[in-house]
């Protein structure tokens, strides 16, 4: 479903923070803050996760020269059970809160809703984004870090990072959100939590092709189409799907993935990065900054999410996935 935003809500400021391992990221220099302690000085991973969210939002508000009383909505989610890190961060931020779960696609579903609220006149300023914390998420969806369990080559590294955008009324000096596509749930039968890229690539393909068709566009109308965390293998699958549909090399070159690029060619991270904080931290730092300096004029950001749980995996269910997209331009 494609949603148009005639008033062109703008991304007025962004905040992106990351953990110590993320110093190895190729996007490291674009992050606002990188902390040495994975737990942000807190007793638990989840408490540190909550502190990370607060810091990203504080940075964003400082850039915009506002405080929490100026913000109408906080739209956010994470991957921990019941999104407790985000809930507790919302408690401290004291902003009207809508908790969202689209797994790793939450970075974009939150911005779509923020844009809708802005378009309707219900919101002057809204903070939207997502986050993930490596230790907490790996323990929940795969194995506790202390186990030292071996992972297959298809696995990806959950990043410790948070990224948030301040969405408000149109300002031609800032990137503008023109349209968004709310993706369907697509399930190609993947069952392994160690092959997220393969599970999510079909959902990304479905959302991108739907957006292009409804908008009467082609891939090369964009300077960049970036997915969130398909990783190196998932990106190859996505490009193969487009190639089979007739896409030429110049079109395939427009397709990139934040997870595939996040840690560069470091083989320690196997197929690349994942986690809700992966797309959020890259989209709301690197991409925003490249738009503002004029390197990109028009981009399509597509966040992908695997909608599994530990229970669904244990019960032998396949992994349904989704992908949401926003079309952004810079005047």
CA neighbor of 88 nearest in space, from 150, 154, 42: 42
Consecutive H or E run containing 12: strand 10-18
How many angstroms separate the CA atoms of 118 and 130, rounded?
19
Positive or negative, the CA dihedral 116, 100, 129, 223 is: negative
The strand pair at 224-227 and 298-306 is best described as parallel
Contact 275, 137 (CB under 8 A): yes
How many angstroms separate the CA atoms of 237 and 331, rounded?
33
Contact 71, 15 (CB under 8 A): no
Q: What is the pLDDT of residue 172?
A: 96
Residue with token string 């999104």:
83
pLDDT in tens, 7-61: 999 999 999 999 999 999 999 999 999 998 888 889 998 999 999 999 999 999 9
The strand pair at 321-329 and 176-181 is best described as antiparallel
- Give the burial string for 159-171 (b: 16+ CB within 10 Å, else e): bbbbbbbbbbebe
Collapsing DSSP to helix, strand or coil, 55 comes out as helix
- The stretches of the chain forming alpha helices (DSSP H) are 45-64, 84-93, 106-120, 134-141, 196-214, 231-244, 249-252, 258-261, 276-282, 288-292, 310-314
Residues of the chain with confidence (pLDDT) below 70: 139-152
Burial classification of residue 16, based on how many CB atoms lie within 10 Å of its CB (0-12 exposed, 13-18 middle, 19 or more buried)? buried
Collapsing DSSP to helix, strand or coil, 32 comes out as coil
Compute CA 64 distance to the chain's CA centroid, rounded to the nearest angstrom: 21
How many angstroms separate the CA atoms of 133 and 160, rounded?
4
E strands, 66-189, where?
Answer: 73-77, 97-99, 125-132, 157-158, 161-168, 176-181, 185-186
What pTM, to 2 d.p., does this model score? 0.95
Q: What is the pLDDT of residue 148?
A: 55
pLDDT in tens, 73-85: 999 999 998 999 9
Q: What is the pLDDT of residue 331?
A: 82
List the domains of the chain with CATH numbers.
Answer: 2-168 (3.40.47.40), 176-329 (3.40.47.40)
Q: What is the pLDDT of residue 147?
A: 47
Q: What is the pLDDT of residue 279?
A: 96
Q: What is the pLDDT of residue 311?
A: 81
Q: What count of other Cβ atoms lies within 10 Å of the Cβ of residue 64?
A: 18
Positive or negative, the CA dihedral 248, 252, 254, 255 is: positive
Contact 49, 136 (CB under 8 A): yes
């Amino acid at each position: 479903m494609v949603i148009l935003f005639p008033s062109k809500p703008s991304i007025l400021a962004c905040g992106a923070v990351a953990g110590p391992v993320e110093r190895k990221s190729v996007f490291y220099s674009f992050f606002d803050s990188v902390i040495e302690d994975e737990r942000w000085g807190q007793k638990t991973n989840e408490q540190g996760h909550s502190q990370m969210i607060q810091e990203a939002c504080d940075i964003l508000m400082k850039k915009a020269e506002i405080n929490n009383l100026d913000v109408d909505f906080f739209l956010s989610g994470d991957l921990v059970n019941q999104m407790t890190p985000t809930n507790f961060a919302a408690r401290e931020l004291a902003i009207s809160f809508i908790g969202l779960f689209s797994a790793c696609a939450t970075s974009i579903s939150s911005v779509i809703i923020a844009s809708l609220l802005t378009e309707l006149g219900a919101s002057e300023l809204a903070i939207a984004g997502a986050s993930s914390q490596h230790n907490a998420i790996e323990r929940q969806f795969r194995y506790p870090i202390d186990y030292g369990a071996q992972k297959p080559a298809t696995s990806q590294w959950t990043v410790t990072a948070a990224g948030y955008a301040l969405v408000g009324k149109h300002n031609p000096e800032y990137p503008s959100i023109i349209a968004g596509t709310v993706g369907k749930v697509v399930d190609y039968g993947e069952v392994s939590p160690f092959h997220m890229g393969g599970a999510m690539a079909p959902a990304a393909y479905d959302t991108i092709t739907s957006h292009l068709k409804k908008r009467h566009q082609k891939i090369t109308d964009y300077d960049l189409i970036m997915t969130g965390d398909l990783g190196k293998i998932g990106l190859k699958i996505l490009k193969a799907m487009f190639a089979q549909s007739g896409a030429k090399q110049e079109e395939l070159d427009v397709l990139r993935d934040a997870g595939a690029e996040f840690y560069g060619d470091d083989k320690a991270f196997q197929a690349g990065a994942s986690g809700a904080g992966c797309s959020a931290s890259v989209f709301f730092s690197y991409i925003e900054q490249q738009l503002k300096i004029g390197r990109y004029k028009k981009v399509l950001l597509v966040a992908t999410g695997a909608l599994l749980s530990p229970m669904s995996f244990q019960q032998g269910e396949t992994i349904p996935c989704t992908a949401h997209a926003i079309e952004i331009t810079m005047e």
